[in-house]
């Protein structure tokens, strides 16, 4: 692709030849349409780029706002924000169209102002569409719905290098308790994941939210050293960012320093430190299935009718994970009460805190439930293939059957998909969604559902199967 600057020169060369692409020779082909692009959220460089593009196609695009403007083009602004801006200019909305940039890019593509449809009008909440311009002579809009829970996003994506970098940035921000920034990076990554092809030129990023110079600068200058230390310490099972932060301030920067420090560790943290390398190693699907077999047998022996489902990343089709997530329920409401403690004591009666004393549960795999607090547990088993002990994180959740569909949806993830589902429910439907229930805020009542499909239907969303929830 020719860089922007060089192409400008080339265009001025074709000016005298009077081709259709030349910038200055196109008269205003649509005198009834006077456009103004709002810089707010669009950014100065994208605005300049889009304005130039429009003028070349024969549109009148004003540099400054005036009362003559008929169409105001916005990106990621709500109708209310645009109206407030207009009022600040001493102008009202009267007689003016407030339009999303999708109307503009489609008009560029078709070479004339397209019919204004509902989806082109500014919404009450931001989102809408994200458009990517391939180069400045040809508009190839990638249209992506504003909410990740409206998009299908498989595990493969065309921009893995970028999305991996952004995921790291998100992780960094989350570890520093900067959830807002973390979400911004995750949203940007999710938008890139949904694009139908690879981004091939940096200039293309100009149009994408959260992917401007800021993100790129952050990659360069952010404190990778402290990030790395925080990542090591919070990588210990049972250690959160607060504890890690305290240790760092006390001069503990690695595992050896932690061992030497004489810090009091709880049972989970002791196990976490002991099995650090194992826990860092991703869990394979085969291991997840083996653990499913063991936990399944344990569940069956304490409550024969109880059911167990693999959730989390493995249900979304991932081949590896950082843990194995299970959801357990009982077909009879109420019979799930007390299931977890029974399960724990069943397992504990068969294991000990030391690997030497493990009990043979079947001839393939040993299981050791190690540190069990809340839902989290650490289980150790020996794999027949590797003939090696290995510790794995297991996340067990028990749900009453009446909440099962909500729990299944909530624990399948991805995290961003869940967050977006809740954002959609709240902003677009006036409902509150959790892993327990769906509540209609307007009607003041809970909405029942016995399957994930029903929940999507209540939310007015097309059903998205687990393997397409990898936002």
**Shorter beta-carbon distance to ligand UTP: residue 381 or 417:** 417
**CA pair distance 120, 134, nearest whole angstrom:** 21
127 touching Mn ion, by CB under 5 A: no
**x/- track of binding to Mn ion for residues 269-308 (CB under 5 A):** ----------------------------------------
Q: Could you check whether the bond before residue 414 is cis, i.e. omega within 30 degrees of 0?
A: yes
- Which of the ranges 228-236, 321-329, 331-339, 347-355 carries the binding residues for ligand UTP, by CB under 6 A? 321-329
Smallest distance, ligand UTP to C-beta of residue 290, A: 16
415 binds ligand UTP (CB under 6 A): yes
- Spatial CA neighbour of 47 closest among 34, 31, 30, 64: 64
Q: How many CB atoms lie within 10 A of CB 304?
A: 8
State yes or no: 100 annotated in a binding site.
no
Question: Is 469 exposed, middle or buried, given 0-12, 13-18 or 19+ CB atoms closer than 10 A?
Answer: buried
Picked from ligand UTP, Mn ion, none, the partner binding residue 414 (CB below 5 to 8 A depending on kind) is ligand UTP
318 scored as a contact of ligand UTP (CB under 6 A): yes
Provide the annotated active-site residues. 323, 325, 395
Q: Residue from 14, 70, 226, 435 that binds ligand UTP (CB under 6 A)?
A: 435
Q: By CB under 6 A, is residue 323 in contact with ligand UTP?
A: yes
Nearest distance, CB of residue 144 and ligand UTP, angstroms: 21
Residue 325 binds Mn ion, judged by CB under 5 A:
yes
Query: Which of 325, 336, 420, 452: binder of ligand UTP (CB under 6 A)?
Result: 325
Angle, helices 224-234 vs 160-175, to 10°: value is 70
- Residue with Cβ nearer Mn ion (375 or 448): 375
The reply on whether position 186 binds ligand UTP by CB under 6 A is no
Binding residue count for ligand UTP, defined by CB under 6 A: 15
Binding mask 143-182 toward ligand UTP (x if CB under 6 A, else -) reads ----------------------------------------
CA distance 265 to 102: 55
Q: Which is nearer to Mn ion, 327 or 431 (CB)?
A: 327
Exposed (0-12), middle (13-18) or buried (19+): which is 98, by Cβ within 10 Å?
buried
Q: Residue 418 interacts with Mn ion (CB under 5 A)?
A: no
Q: Which is nearer to ligand UTP, 179 or 260 (CB)?
A: 179
What is the closest distance, in whole angstroms, from the C-beta atom of residue 416 to ligand UTP in the complex? 8
User: 363 a known binding residue?
Assistant: no
User: Cβ 98 to Mn ion, closest distance in Å?
Assistant: 43
**127 or 313: CB nearest Mn ion:** 313
Is residue 466 within the footprint of ligand UTP (CB under 6 A)? no
313 makes contact with ligand UTP (CB under 6 A): yes
Task: Dig out the tokens for 430 from the structure.
Answer: 């006036």
CA–CA dist 405, 453 (Å, integer)? 9
**Residue 238 contacts ligand UTP per CB under 6 A:** no
280 binds ligand UTP (CB under 6 A): no
Which of ligand UTP, Mn ion, none has residue 119 at its interface (CB below 5 to 8 Å by kind)? none
CB of 98 to ligand UTP, least distance (A): 36
Q: Which stretch binds ligand UTP (CB under 6 A): 116-124, 153-161, 264-272, 313-321?
A: 313-321
Piece of 169-177, 323-331, 338-346, 354-362 that binds Mn ion (CB under 5 A):
323-331
Which one among 113, 182, 209, 312 touches Mn ion, defined by CB under 5 A? 312
Residues belonging to the binding site are 323, 325, 395
Residues belonging to the binding site for Mg(2+) are 323, 325, 395
Interacting residue ranges for Mn ion, rule: CB under 5 A: 312-313, 321, 323, 325
Interacting residue ranges for ligand UTP, rule: CB under 6 A: 312-313, 318, 321-323, 325, 395, 410-411, 413-415, 418, 435
């Amino acid at each position: 692709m020719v860089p922007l600057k060089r192409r400008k020169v080339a265009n001025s060369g074709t000016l005298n030849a009077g081709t259709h692409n030349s910038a200055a020779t196109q008269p205003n082909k649509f005198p009834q349409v006077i456009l103004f692009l709002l810089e707010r959220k669009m950014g100065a460089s994208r605005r300049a780029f889009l304005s130039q593009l429009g003028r070349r196609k024969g549109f009148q695009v004003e540099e400054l706002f005036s009362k003559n403007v008929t169409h105001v083009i916005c990106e990621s602004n709500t109708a209310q924000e645009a109206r407030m801006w207009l009022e600040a200019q001493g102008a009202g909305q009267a007689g003016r169209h407030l339009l999303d940039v999708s109307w503009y890019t489609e008009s560029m593509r078709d070479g004339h102002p397209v019919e204004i449809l509902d989806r082109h009008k500014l919404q009450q909440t931001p989102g809408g569409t994200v458009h990517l311009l391939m180069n400045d002579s040809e508009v190839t809009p990638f249209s992506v719905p504003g909410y990740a829970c409206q998009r299908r996003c498989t595990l493969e994506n065309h921009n893995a290098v970028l999305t991996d970098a952004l995921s790291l940035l998100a992780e960094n921000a989350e570890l520093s308790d900067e959830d807002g920034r973390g979400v911004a990076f995750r949203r940007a990554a999710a938008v890139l994941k949904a694009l139908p092809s690879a981004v091939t030129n940096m200039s293309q990023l100009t149009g994408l939210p959260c992917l401007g110079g800021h993100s790129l600068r952050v990659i360069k200058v952010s404190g990778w050293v402290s990030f790395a230390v925080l990542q090591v310490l919070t990588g210990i099972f049972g250690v959160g960012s607060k504890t890690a932060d305290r240790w760092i301030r006390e001069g503990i920067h690695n595992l050896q320093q932690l061992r030497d420090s004489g810090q009091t560790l709880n049972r989970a943290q002791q196990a976490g430190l002991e099995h650090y390398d194992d826990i860092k190693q991703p869990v394979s699907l085969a291991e997840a299935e083996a653990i499913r077999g063991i936990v399944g047998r344990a569940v069956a022996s304490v409550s024969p009718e109880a059911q167990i489902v693999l959730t989390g990343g493995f249900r979304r089709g991932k081949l590896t994970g950082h843990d194995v997530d299970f959801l357990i329920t009982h077909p009879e409401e109420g019979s799930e009460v007390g299931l977890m403690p029974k399960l724990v004591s069943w397992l504990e009666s068969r294991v000990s805190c030391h690997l030497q004393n493990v009990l043979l549960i079947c001839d393939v795999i040993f299981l050791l439930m190690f540190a069990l607090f809340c839902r989290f547990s650490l289980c150790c088993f020996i794999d027949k293939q590797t003939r090696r002990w290995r510790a794995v994180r297991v996340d067990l959740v028990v749900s009453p059957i009446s909440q099962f569909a909500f729990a299944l949806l909530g624990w399948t993830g991805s995290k961003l998909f869940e967050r977006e589902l809740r954002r959609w429910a709240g902003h677009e439907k006036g409902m509150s969604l959790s892993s327990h229930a769906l509540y209609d805020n307007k009607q003041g009542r809970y909405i029942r559902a016995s399957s994930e499909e029903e929940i999507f239907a209540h939310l007015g969303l097309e059903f998205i199967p687990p393997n397409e929830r990898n936002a």
